[in-house]
A and B are shown apart, each in its own frame.
Chain A
């Protein structure tokens, strides 16, 4: 069902634009042209954050942290197996999807652990990545409390996810 949503939105958009006498081809090209400068602008920011994440994982700090933090996370109801996922999620999208895949294969796609992992990923975002990219084109240096709030929400989301998977 959901597969139809986007194509239908596209058809509606193109037809509506035509009806409004917009030159669809010219307009599309005009917008698409802006993609390259945008990507060139945000590349260094993406490279910096991915570099930091790669080093963090390669050094083994994440697994150490996961072990060290497991009592806290267990107390919150997050299983030990998912701590690394919760820790890495704010930093890397592709990395956390790779981790999710490992979990799915290892514990079986319909197990409690896997379902928790899916909900955790579904209700969270790559906080640091999003933040870096979003402010990359502004002059902002001080983010005040933006990141702490986002992180609190992410942990809260993980706790709720594990709780909900037990009930539903």
Chain B
């Protein structure tokens, strides 16, 4: 992340020396204030969802959901901690409903619990990142809404292709992570032997 960010920022600023040097600081402050208003909005969204999440937990639905998704999570993450499993189950369910923002607090929580403090991402963390980044989504509601506003006659006819595409990317993501995790474990083992 450090490298990517450095390249993006320094590269862009160098470029802007030609285009429009006076607007560099303005752009930065605009972006930051945009981030602030996004955060205020997120705060409201999170308050609702974290309130609901607390209810899901307190009523025991969280545990039920985790038990339901247990075989899947067990296979994907290879973890043995019911609390983390519950967080991942809720995170995945929210993602499937297209509630990315609701999924975030649970995702962050799950990440915290998966972290082993070594500074390197664990295989389970990578799996969670990739699953969230490829996002199985059953209802692309925002996109459909935008399309309807733009005057589409059949705004919902993108649901089927979206479902197929999202299933493909998610499957590919999971397979690649499994493959890389396996390779990485092997390389690490070899390194340890030497």
Contacts and interface: CB of A to CB of B under 8 A. Distances in A.
Interface in B160-190: 160-162, 164-166, 168-170, 172-173, 176-177, 180, 184
B54 A30 contact: yes
A69 interface: no
B169 to A, nearest CB: 4
Contacts of A58: 12, 16, 19-20, 23, 27
Given A54-B28, A153-B173, A17 B161 contact: no
A134 B128 contact: yes
A118 B16 contact: no
Q: Report, as a range, how many residues of chain A touch the other chain.
A: 35 or more
Contact of A137 (B38, B112, B130): B112
A143 B126 contact: yes
Contacts of B168: 123, 156-157, 160
Contacts of A142: 119-121
Interface string A110-144: 10001100110111110110111111111111111
Interface string A90-115: 00011001001100110011100011
Nearest to A100: B146
B67 interface: no
Interface of B: 1-2, 4-5, 8-9, 11-13, 15-16, 19-20, 23-24, 27-28, 30-32, 34-36, 38-40, 42-44, 46-48, 50-56, 58-61, 97, 100, 104-105, 107-108, 111-112, 114-115, 117-121, 125-126, 128-130, 132-135, 137, 139-144, 146-147, 150-155, 157-158, 160-162, 164-166, 168-170, 172-173, 176-177, 180, 184
